[in-house]
A = this chain, B = another copy of it.
């Protein structure tokens, strides 16, 4: 039943694969719940849809995360 959601900017498929794999494995181990019970949603947001410190990420230099 646990559901993990990660809100981020754009990611590669390999990063998404690793996130799903590693976050599920860690949480499964800590919560003592089998991996089969976990869902993960990776939410990729455009930089103009993310605000940090009152500014659009798209308006800040590329390396700001």
Contact = CB atoms under 8 A, between A and B. Distances in A.
B2 A8 contact: yes
Interface string A9-53: 101010111111111111110110111111111111100111111
Contacts of A18: 30
Contact of A6 (B2, B37, B52): B2
A6 B55 CA distance: 15
B57 A1 contact: yes
B3 A3 contact: yes
A53 B27 contact: no
A18 to B, nearest CB: 5
Contact of A3 (B13, B39, B57, B58): B39
